[in-house]
Structure 1
Amino acid sequence: MDAPGSLCWTELYTTDAAAAKEFYGGLFGWRFGDMALPGGGGAYALITPAGLPEERMHGGLMELPAEHLTLAQGRPYWHPVFAVADCDAAVAAVTGNGGRVQMGPQDAEGVGRLAVCLDPANADFVVLTPVRG
């Protein structure tokens, strides 16, 4: 955890954010803090595990219409983010091992350098070199 090669963030893309919050809140005791997306693009809920302070949040939840969930044929899915020491080197390793890049690498202000990738079976994931704070 908290090191290159580890899972550092997860996002749930779902067609029903309220139902997902109720389910995961009831199952794991997760707490959700909504924040408005720029330009009136809806809300993004930050996920904090039960018993931990907000600074240990581990993911987000976003409601999207089914037509925006094309990789999962319109069904909700988890989108994992893996920390890497060098995003560009990780992208080279992805493509060198039969994966593809959907977006990036690019810099995201306040977040780090990231790329959205697909493994050989088309499962998506992100590689991220986080900003050091």
Structure 2
Amino acid sequence: MPTPDHSNGAPCWIDLMTSDTEKAKDFYGTLFGWTFQTGDQEKYGGYITAAKGGKTVAGMMQKDDSMTGMPDMWSTYLRSDDAAATVRAAAQHGGQVYMEPMAVPEQGRMAMIADVTGASVGIWEPAEMKGFELAAEAGSPAWHELHTKDYAAAVKFYQDVFGWDTDVMSDTPEFRYTTLGAGDAAKAGIMDASGYLPAEVPSNWQIYFAVEDADASVEKAVSMGAQVIHAAEDTPFGRLATLADPTGAMFKIVADTGQGAQAATEA
């Protein structure tokens, strides 16, 4: 597979903020076949890069004392040519700035914001590090999805701030869904979650990892201390399951059942 083409505004990186990096490495290394490299402590704060088959797929970072009370979580980063300008645009369109753009030596610049509906999302302005080098193959990120309590406001925010060229995949009371790009070229989705997200759960980005066998992956994850949030089920886009890793970070897995292309065509 060629290296993914990270267009402006699209997901280009993911990372895990965890309370136990060693446990996380054991878990994801076994589940997805990842290998790990730890960056220089002074230069990169001990940031851990995960790879699959020699291609980078994700990052990990140990939570520090300032993050007490914050749950372990995966984050999606959207590409920007100018992180500072994107942060300013986010604030102007009702978002919150959690972390101003910060230089990562030689690699690029990163920032963290909340969108207008309260979902946290990262911003990555690339230099040497362009983003994940593998996607939609077993053990790599396959899809990125915003579950939002204010669907219309979220769609407009990503159009205005990140320049999304959107396509409405479905617009019924039961299922409202908009994508960045259309059909097989879509790179991310926004789902109306107002009907099912509990009051205490904010709008949030969710990451899907590709696996060869969803049921076997669930069984393996549970044997290592994961919890099943939603059991594996067949959908038009593959067999999906939602899990929480041993320290509580939530993620999804998806196994291609051959129906995804047909569903995209029919949408």
The aligned amino acid for 1:33 is D
The one of 251, 262, 265 equivalent to 1:125 is 251
Aligned to 1:81: 208
What is the CA deviation profile of residues 22-52 of structure 1, one whole-angstrom value per residue up to 9, with x for unaligned ones? 2222332222222134xx314211222xxxx
* Residues in 2 aligned to 1:124 and 1:86: alpha-carbon distance in whole angstroms: 19
In structure 2, the CA distance between the partners of 1:123 and 1:68, relative to structure 1 (3 Å rule), is farther
* Residues in 1 aligned to 2:256 and 2:186: alpha-carbon distance in whole angstroms: 15
In structure 2, the CA distance between the partners of 1:42 and 1:89, relative to structure 1 (3 Å rule), is closer
- Say whether residues 1:5 and 2:5 are aligned partners: no
SS of the aligned residue for 1:4 comes to coil
| Cα root mean square deviation, aligned | 2.3
Instruction: Give the paired residue count.
Output: 124
The one of 77, 92, 102 equivalent to 2:229 is 102
The one of 165, 168, 171 equivalent to 1:36 is 171
SS of the aligned residue for 2:190 comes to strand
* Residues in 2 aligned to 1:64 and 1:85: alpha-carbon distance in whole angstroms: 28
Unaligned segments of structure 1, at least 5 residues: none
Q: TM-score, normalised by structure 2?
A: 0.42
* Residues in 1 aligned to 2:167 and 2:188: alpha-carbon distance in whole angstroms: 11
Q: What pairs up with 1:53-92 in 2 under 5 angstroms?
A: 54-65=183-194, 68-70=196-198, 73-92=200-219
What is the CA deviation profile of residues 93-131 of structure 1, one whole-angstrom value per residue up to 9, with x for unaligned ones? 2112211112222222x3222211122333322111112
For the Cα contact (< 8 Å) 1:12–1:78, is it kept in 2? yes
For the Cα contact (< 8 Å) 1:8–1:58, is it kept in 2? no
SS of the aligned residue for 1:75 comes to coil
Work out which of the two has the higher radius of gyration on C-alpha atoms and give 1 or 2. Answer: 2
* Residues in 1 aligned to 2:219 and 2:209: alpha-carbon distance in whole angstroms: 15
* Residues in 2 aligned to 1:63 and 1:21: alpha-carbon distance in whole angstroms: 10
* Residues in 2 aligned to 1:121 and 1:23: alpha-carbon distance in whole angstroms: 32
The aligned amino acid for 1:77 is N
More RCO (CA 8 Å, sep 6+): 1
